[in-house]
Amino acid sequence: MFNCMIAGVGGQGTVLASKLIAIAAMKSGFDVRTTETIGMAQRGGSVVSHIRIGENIDSIFSPIIPSGNAHAIIAFEPAEAVRQLPFLSPQGYLITCGTAVKSIGYSGNSQNITYESSVMVEFLKANIANLTIIDSGKIMERYSKALNVAFLGAAAEWGVFPFDSAALEEILPEIVPERFLELNIAAFKLGRELYNEYNK
């Protein structure tokens, strides 16, 4: 059994990322159960997807990952990474970025509705052994609409999935609209490069 959680805020493509993982797993011969907890996604709220991958569907009793049982958490926002930490197993992998995503109501004047992303990042560095921090600024410069796919590229390069990176890249043409395909393939490759840059 492999348990993966995708965490982000509304508009970051959390659900699409989980769909790509699930389809790649099924095409690799696994059975999959998934579910989402969406909340106030349209207003920048938390979006969490659970993906559970097993040898056969009878071994996956629930689509919800139990606390402490996620083998990997891919978080598109550092506060969401911290929020979902109770799900991560002690040996689990965590990939996130070092940049906060401001609430839709953030005006820049109130300290009550924002936070310093560096505080979250330092907490993660102090508490997570298997951690990769992706420079999302480099992604947003060129591929702002494909941040999610770039993070999947980083996770695939790390080898966290029970299938190889080619399985993910090969399904992009099947799921991503043609007008966005080239951008997403490039973002996937950039994510792989950024993983190697962080861990060299």
Check residue 162 and report its DSSP letter: S
CATH number at residue 42: 3.40.920.10
User: What predicted TM-score, i.e. pTM, was given to this entire model?
Assistant: 0.90
Residue 88 neighbours by CB under 8 Å, 6+ apart: 5, 68, 70, 73, 94, 128
Residue 83's domain comprises: 2-101+115-199
**DSSP assigned state of 45:** -
Total domains in the fold of the chain: 1
The phi and psi torsions of 39 (rounded to 5 degrees) equal: 60, -140
Q: What is the pLDDT of residues 26-71, one digit of tens each?
A: 999 999 999 987 665 555 678 899 999 998 878 888 999 999 999 9
Q: Are the C-beta atoms of residues 69 and 3 closer than 8 Å to each other?
A: yes
Q: Which two tokens stand for residue 80?
A: 């969401």
